[in-house]
Amino acid sequence: MKHNGGFLRGAAGIFLRGFAMGLADLVPGVSGGTVALLCGIYERLVAALRALLGAAAWRALSGGAWRDWRVRDFARRVDLVFLGVLLGGVLSAVLLCAGTLESLLERKLHLVLAFFLGLVLASIVAVARRLRRWRWGLLPPALLGVLVGLLSALLPPIPGFAEPGAVALFLGGAVAICAMLLPGLSGSYVLLLLGLYPTVISALHERDALLLGAFWGGCIAGLLCFVRLLHWLLCHRYDSTLGFLLGLMVGGLQRLWPWKQQEAGAEGILQPNLSPMAFSVAGENPQIVAALVLLVGGALLALMLDSAGRRLVKPVV
């Protein structure tokens, strides 16, 4: 019973971390990878995905009938329980909260962004503490990350998907999943730039199996192409990779500035930034005090996640 209780507590913790990742991925400008890194499960997630998409684990199931020991060996190799529980948390957040977050982004975009701005600001400080050794050699990858983050934040929407179908969602999913895995980039933001974000949210609402299947198929294809590289970098160039990811997070901060020229739901994130005074002149209430409270709340949540996550950090193998 004690063993089961410990397992259930661990599974509940993983599920909640997945739920937080799912919530972050729903907000354009925020990455589930940031939450995973902050929660101490990023390296484990990348290693598990690398194993799942590799050939060695699947060979454990080949060569005859599926025996019980083969299934157990496969599950151990790919950390299947961890991946399953984490994915359950992500999908639960997406399915349960997509409508609520869409409504909040429509009505209170600046307050939502203020909360996540605080979370990402504190995340940058917290994740920087995960570096094994500070040195000048980390400056070039960090500056490169800042540049990539800034460019991604300043890109205009890409035309071409007026009525996106399954093919467009497949391609969008392949690109977006890479951004979802990288702290500082946002899969939802990529979908917004591609004009696919409203279609994906609508497909989630309507449970459109064809469009969702195409999107998830693209995500799997993107993982196949990307996760091997990311795993190798974390294994062999950990500090440089983390420096680049920190730069991405810094470079993408301007996307999360709360006050935009227009508040038009998620698409408002693409609008130019305004000062609170200019926001007020435009006829909107900047709600500066509420925004500051939420910013501090997001930062405190990030520090709490970091405190819990540092106990879970394991080296990539």
Mean confidence (pLDDT) of the chain: 81
Average pLDDT of span 213-235: 87
- 293 pLDDT band (50/70/90 cuts)? very high
Between the ranges 5-14, 18-27, 51-60, 160-169, where is the mean pLDDT highest? 18-27
Out of 2-11, 41-50, 119-128, least confident range = 2-11
Q: Which H or E run includes 56?
A: helix 55-59
- The reported pLDDT for the residue numbered 138 is 87
Please give the torsion angle defined by the CA atoms of residues 252, 23, 230 and 155, in that order, rounded to the nearest 10 degrees: -30
Residue 162 scores a pLDDT above 70: no
- The reported pLDDT for the residue numbered 68 is 59
Alpha-carbon distance 38 to 120, whole Å? Answer: 10
What's the pLDDT tens digit per position in 175-195? 888 888 888 777 888 888 877
Alpha-carbon distance 247 to 146, whole Å? Answer: 4
Is pLDDT larger for residue 54 or for residue 17?
Answer: 17
Of 95, 58, 62, residue with least CA distance to 78: 58
Residue 311 scores a pLDDT above 80: no
Residue 32 scores a pLDDT above 80: yes
- 158 pLDDT band (50/70/90 cuts)? low
What's the pLDDT tens digit per position in 233-284? 888 888 998 899 899 889 888 888 888 887 666 677 778 888 888 877 666 7
Tokens of 189: 């933001």
- 221 pLDDT band (50/70/90 cuts)? confident
Percent of the chain's residues with pLDDT above 90: 12
Out of 75-89, 103-117, 274-288, 302-316, least confident range = 302-316
Residue 202 scores a pLDDT above 50: yes
Output phi, psi for 264, to 5 deg.
-130, 60
CB 233 within 8 A of CB 205: no
- The reported pLDDT for the residue numbered 291 is 93
- The reported pLDDT for the residue numbered 140 is 92
